[in-house]
Amino acid sequence: MRELFEGWRTVMDHPRVFLNAWKLKKSGVELGAFSWIEGNVKVYLAARSGVRIGKRVFIPRDIEILGNDDGKIIIGDDVSIDSCARFHVANQATLQIGNKVGVGAYDFLDAFDDLTIGENTMLGPFLHVICADHGVKRDIPMREQRGTYAPISIGKDCWIGSEVVVLKGVTIGDGAVVGAGSVVTKDIPEYCIAAGVPARVLKERPS
């Protein structure tokens, strides 16, 4: 276990960080070296689901990870994850977060289909990114109807503002900006600034 912190003498002065890393390994999480996990990571993995966390990941507060079915969660290197974020994967989906992504406080990332976030992207707080929808027929209670699923892709170097909702089947291109409080229902081209309910393109980013 100590090889996770080779060269980091200061970690040994923070037993909570060392213990949290040990608990993650015991729960079946693949954890890269030099990660600083001071918060409590609540991990619930069922069936054949799995989690891989890269190197130098920073988790200062409590977060939650849930896996079902054959779902996989892959978190890249140098990622920071703020308070009470939740990662959920199910079916045969992969939730993949690129290197140097910042995940905001209370962000919910629900991958019932593939959900990809490119490197260097910033996610504001209180996001909900969900790859699922529910049936709405009147003759069956909605909670009993089957969901429909579609992938979501958020590109590299994006800035997604606080309290944004991203719905299934959407692609947000590289370098895009989405204003706070927006609901993204359609694709946003790369290097565009979009906002609104539903979100629409306002202009292109200046070169």
Active site residues: 134
d(CA 158, CA 199): 15
Query: Which residue(s) pair with 160 in the sheet?
Result: 123, 178
What DSSP element (H or E) covers 39?
none
Instruction: Tell me the two tokens of residue 154.
Output: 């958020």
Q: Are 125 and 82 in contact (CB under 8 A)?
A: yes
Q: Are 117 and 101 in contact (CB under 8 A)?
A: yes
Could you tell me whether strands 200-204 and 192-195 are parallel, antiparallel, or unpaired per DSSP bridges?
antiparallel
What DSSP element (H or E) covers 17?
helix 15-26
Q: Count CB atoms within 10 A of the CB of residue 85.
A: 23
The alpha-carbon radius of gyration of the chain (Å, integer) is 18
